[in-house]
Amino acid sequence: MKLRGLLLGAAVALTMAPPALAERASDGNVSIIYWQAPSILNPYLSSGTKDIESSSLVIEPLGRYTETGAMVPYLAKEIPTVANGGVSSDLKSITWKLKDGIMWSDGSPVTSADVKFTADYCMNSDMGCAQLAKFDHVTSIDTPDSATVVVSFAQPMPNPYGPFMGGQSPIIQMAQFENCTGAKAQSCTEQNFGPIGTGPFVVTEFRPNDVIQMKANDNYRDPSKPAFATLTFKGGGDAMGAGRSVLETGEFDYAWNLQLAPDVIAKMEEGGKGVAIAGFGPLVERLEMNMTDPSPSLDADTRATVKAPHPFLTDINVRKALSMAIDRELLVEIGYGKAGAVTCDLVPAPDLYAAKNDYCMTQDIAGANALLDSAGWKKGGDGIRAKDGVKLSILYQTSTNAVRQDFQSLIKEWWSQIGVETELRNLNASVFFGGDPASPDTFQKFYADVEMYANTFDGTDPQTYLSMYRCGNEPKPETQWQGENINRYCDPAYDALLDELGRTGDVAKRGELGIKLNNMLTKDSYTIVPLVHRGRVSAHANSLGGVVLNTWDSELWNVADWYRMD
């Protein structure tokens, strides 16, 4: 058995290994299809995945995350850490060293001035930079010499890898963008459509919301890469069409993010032209419990704010019973197939921060009923539980989306089995997630008892993500309903742990704290009821080699290593 495994592994390794005589631009054209079309190639003006990933072919950061969430240097010599002296011991500065001899695609050298310019460009307050959050707490950027960049922060940063790490924060060329700073950034069409970069490809033609034509970068740092001479990046259509064009007709080599029903993908794969691949980041589909009273009878300043606690969801037994009644395995099977896994955690990945809880793996309707009985929630004549005149009647909202509506009706059925009445509601995604303070239907306002959506975090560090649930960070009228603590959760012990996490630089210790925080929100309090750990399914043609699906960075992060198998 072991030998067979080894042989299999060796066989796989052989097929995966790039041809020995790899040569730049020897493999012709590679074509990629994204069903959302790129609008702009400047990630500082758009946070759309389509724009970030298409621009990642051209412009690169100092370092990227690999498919396991580890960091690898790209333009930098190495990833600075406390251990190698790159990060100061007070965690307030990080020193990056650029690789020697890196050139822009126009032949000029990349210097620390370009890196500093990139930060100044985004931090300009008139610009409306989409990645401003990456530069939080940065006080200054110094360039002692042409290859060294020192980023200083206002406070200790246990995770100093915001600026210049990952697909959202690539380096742009100072010479090209010099006259595009501040308010002028918006009108620099030529620059925004054709940034000069260090990546494996250069833009030859950009048609907004349609197609990008690229060719191999003659000045790319690895003389044997990329294997492809040209690259076509087509955008538009729908996930179904994109999947079909790779798996069934073979017109394209790579299709991104096939959000399709599992049986549809399986059927397409029978076409035999390609394979679907899945990767998991930290995206979790969850139920959020409202700890405040969304009753329409309350006035606008009190409704769904901490001034009015929820009549029954503040009882942990109710929240726990609602979670116990759910059969998550069935949800995964119906909604996501390959692209989903059951999870009981808010932070399911990376491994360092994953609690790997299993308390919710199996459905327990009888247990949920017993729990509610013992907590004093008695079934009335209509089969609905009540206590002190408060009925367990839930308004459950989410965005309009076929899978979410399936989930809603299943969960409604399970909840009815434990004596909970559920009213379902779905809202257009652009309204629900739109954040318009005048609309009563946003997920921030949470004028419902339970709502369902998915959220995730950038990079591999969940500190900011976990900080969302700090006391006082809830959406409220005083902040125009902005805020990220959607449940209105508040626990001083949680905040204290968060503060400790903010002071801790030691990686293993951070993992421990992260798991504790995760458990406080999920296992210990059922404030957030995780349902499905959602992955991403993409597809590539059988003849395309070197693809490694990465959910921690741009999916096209290693496009320089892609090659044609024949």
Longest dimension (CA), the chain: 80
**Interaction between residue 23 and another protein (CB under 8 A):** no
Q: Shortest approach of another protein to residue 38 CB, angstroms?
A: 9
Q: Which is nearer to another protein, 29 or 417 (CB)?
A: 29
The sign of the torsion formed by the CA atoms of 144, 149, 150, 154 equals positive
**Interaction between residue 398 and another protein (CB under 8 A):** no
Q: Which is nearer to another protein, 37 or 171 (CB)?
A: 37
* E-assigned strand segments in 400-439: 421-427
**Interaction between residue 482 and another protein (CB under 8 A):** yes
Burial class (CB in 10 A: 0-12, 13-18, 19+), 316: middle
- Separation of alpha carbons 227 and 299, rounded Å: 64
| Binding residues for another protein, total number by CB under 8 A | 66
Q: Which is nearer to another protein, 240 or 298 (CB)?
A: 240
Q: Which is nearer to another protein, 171 or 212 (CB)?
A: 212
Q: Which is nearer to another protein, 142 or 190 (CB)?
A: 190
Q: Which stretch binds another protein (CB under 8 A): 69-77, 243-251, 336-344, 506-514?
A: 243-251
User: Binding pattern to another protein, positions 402-431, x when CB under 8 A?
Assistant: ---------------------------xxx
Q: Which is nearer to another protein, 276 or 324 (CB)?
A: 276
Residue type, 104: W
Degrees to nearest 5, angle at CA 39 with 34 and 41: 95
- Separation of alpha carbons 566 and 548, rounded Å: 19
Chain residues 49-68 in contact with another protein, contact rule CB under 8 A:
49
Q: Which is nearer to another protein, 40 or 420 (CB)?
A: 40
Q: Shortest approach of another protein to residue 331 CB, angstroms?
A: 21
Q: Which stretch binds another protein (CB under 8 A): 2-10, 220-228, 376-384, 437-445?
A: 437-445
- Separation of alpha carbons 118 and 169, rounded Å: 9
Rule CB under 8 A: choose which of 208, 279, 367, 477 binds another protein. Answer: 208
Rule CB under 8 A: choose which of 32, 40, 87, 216 binds another protein. Answer: 40
Q: Shortest approach of another protein to residue 128 CB, angstroms?
A: 3
- Separation of alpha carbons 246 and 273, rounded Å: 7
Q: Which of 178, 190, 196, 180 is nearest to 55 (CA)?
A: 196
Q: What is the DSSP string of 528-540?
A: EEEEEEEEEEEEE
- Separation of alpha carbons 350 and 456, rounded Å: 12
Q: Which is nearer to another protein, 131 or 398 (CB)?
A: 131
Contact 255, 539 (CB under 8 A): yes
Q: Which stretch binds another protein (CB under 8 A): 12-20, 76-84, 203-211, 492-500?
A: 203-211
Chain residues 440-479 in contact with another protein, contact rule CB under 8 A:
441, 455-458, 465
**Residue 292 CB: number of other CB atoms within 10 A?**
23
Q: Which of 236, 256, 271 is nearest to 536 (CA)?
A: 256
Q: Which of 417, 314, 315, 450 is nearest to 375 (CA)?
A: 315
Q: Which of 205, 101, 31 is nearest to 559 (CA)?
A: 31
**Interaction between residue 201 and another protein (CB under 8 A):** no
Which tokens in the block code for residue 76?
Answer: 């930098």
Q: Which is nearer to another protein, 80 or 195 (CB)?
A: 195
Contact 321, 418 (CB under 8 A): yes
Q: Which is nearer to another protein, 155 or 186 (CB)?
A: 186
In the complex, the residues that contact another protein under the rule CB under 8 A are 33, 37, 39-40, 42, 45-49, 125-133, 183, 185-189, 192-193, 205, 207-211, 213, 232, 234, 236-238, 240-241, 244-245, 248-249, 251-252, 271, 429-431, 433-436, 438-439, 441, 455-458, 465, 482-484
